[in-house]
């Protein structure tokens, strides 16, 4: 048994079911995502009219989450030099999840990247690029990918600088940067996803499940909102075109912002040609996963 497999067993202790889930999730990543996508579609199609069925997405989303990250926040994570251990977010001020709530990364300079399973489930002609853009940070995830996913998903070890370059390129094409947390992987930070609005199963599942329960989301907001400068805005519509959460619209010659729908991903700010949008720390939302801020807040 490889050391990374032993680490999975050690991490989950007596919960052998979670250890098996952890291994299956990564080793059969493409198949896992394929099944998840179609189960979500079938559930919504058949049971959107039956209120008790909303327990299904609620059950799933207690175990499968993301925390949206700004460029600044992900840069700090990918620039860590020492182990990050802020412990469990007991008050759920950052990660509002029942199980996946540990802000912990061992050996952050050990980083791996592999093919995105959501992209692999698209037809080749419809895939976004690059395909290899799922990032594992630290001792709890990178060795698993490097031991078990080299052949299947082209996993390779990369530097912090190379990881940041992948983030920058993905954001240029409208990908949402987020920290992925899953109960079966230990409920800890360490996986950075670059989610394509067209390919991502998580984004699709969130949109579909809102038909059953509008409050359901696999995404926790970054903790930021957007400030609009009407004097600088030319109503060009660049923000509306890039927003994956439909929080911004140009309607009847005016800018309309849905602060509740906004996840604070910062894509609109980066794509505004007139610099009419800025990101700010919103006290009415969750705390950002800003490791410098959290060292004093948690």
Residue range 51-88, pLDDT digits in tens: 555 555 556 655 668 899 999 999 999 999 999 999 99
Judge whether residue 171 has pLDDT over 90: yes
Closest-CA residue to 281 (of 227, 239, 243, 232)? 227
Q: Is the pLDDT of residue 226 over 60?
A: yes
Q: What does the pLDDT read at residue 81? A: 95
- The answer to whether 177 and 133 have CB atoms below 8 angstroms apart is no
> What pLDDT score does 40 carry?
73
Q: What is the mean pLDDT of residues 171-195?
A: 92
Query: Across residues 207-228, what is the average pLDDT?
Result: 81
Distance CA 187, CA 115 (A): 22
Please report which confidence band the pLDDT of residue 297 belongs to, taking 50, 70 and 90 as the band edges: confident
What distance separates the 2 farthest-apart alpha carbons in the chain? 63
Note the pLDDT of residue 219: 84
247 pLDDT tier (thresholds 50, 70, 90): very high
Q: DSSP assignment of the chain, as one string?
A: --HHHHHHHHHHTT-HHHHHHHHHHHHTHHHHHHHHHHHHHHHHHHHTT-GGGGHHHHHHHTTEEEEE--HHHHHHHTT--S-EEEEE-TT-SS---SS--EEEESSTT-EEEEE-HHHHTS-GGG--S-SEEEEEESTTTHHHHHHHSHHHH--EEE-HHHHHHHHHHHHHTTPEEEEEEEGGGTSBS-EEEEE-TTT-HHHHHHHHHTTT-TT--SEEP-SEEEEE-TTT-----HHHHH-TT--EEEETTEEEE-TTT-----HHHHH-TT--EEEEE-TTSPPP--HHHHHHH-
Distance CA 84, CA 23 (A): 24
Predicted model pTM: 0.91
Only one residue has tokens 């969750």, namely 286
> What is each CA distance from 138 to 154, 200, 210, in whole angstroms?
18, 24, 33
- Give the mean model confidence (pLDDT) for residues 116-126: 89
Q: Which residue has the higher pLDDT, 128 or 293?
A: 293
- The structure tokens 């049971």 sit at 47
Contact yes or no for 258/220 (Cβ under 8 A): no
Whole-number pLDDT of residue 273? 96
Which of 12-21, 44-53, 122-131, 242-251 has the weakest average pLDDT?
44-53
């Amino acid at each position: 048994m490889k050391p990374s497999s032993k680490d999975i067993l050690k991490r989950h202790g007596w919960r052998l079911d979670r250890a098996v889930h952890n291994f299956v999730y990564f080793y059969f990543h493409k198949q896992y995502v394929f099944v998840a996508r179609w189960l979500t579609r079938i559930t919504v199609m058949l049971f959107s009219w039956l209120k008790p069925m909303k327990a299904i997405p609620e059950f799933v989303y207690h175990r499968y989450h993301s925390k949206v990250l700004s460029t600044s926040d992900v840069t700090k994570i990918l620039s860590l030099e020492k182990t990050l251990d802020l412990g469990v977010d007991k008050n759920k001020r950052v990660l509002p999840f029942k199980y996946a709530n540990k802000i912990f990364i061992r050996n952050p300079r050990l980083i791996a990247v592999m093919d995105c399973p959501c992209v692999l489930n698209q037809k080749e002609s419809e895939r976004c690029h690059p395909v290899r853009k799922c990032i594992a940070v630290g001792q709890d995830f990178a060795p698993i990918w490097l031991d078990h996913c080299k052949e299947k998903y082209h996993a390779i070890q990369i530097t912090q600088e190379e990881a940041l370059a992948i983030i920058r390129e993905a954001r240029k094409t409208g990908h949402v940067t987020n920290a992925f947390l899953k109960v079966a992987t230990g409920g800890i930070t360490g996986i950075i996803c670059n989610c394509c609005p067209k390919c991502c199963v998580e984004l699709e599942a969130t949109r579909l499940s809102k038909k059953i329960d509008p409050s359901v989301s696999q995404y926790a907001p970054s903790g930021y909102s957007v400030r609009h400068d009407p004097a600088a805005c030319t109503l060009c519509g660049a923000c509306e075109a890039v927003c994956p959460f439909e929080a911004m619209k140009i309607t009847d010659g005016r800018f309309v912002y849905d602060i509740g729908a906004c996840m604070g991903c910062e894509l609109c700010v980066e794509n505004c040609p007139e610099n009419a949008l800025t990101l700010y720390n919103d006290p009415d939302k969750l705390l950002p996963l800003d490791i410098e801020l959290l060292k004093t807040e948690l």
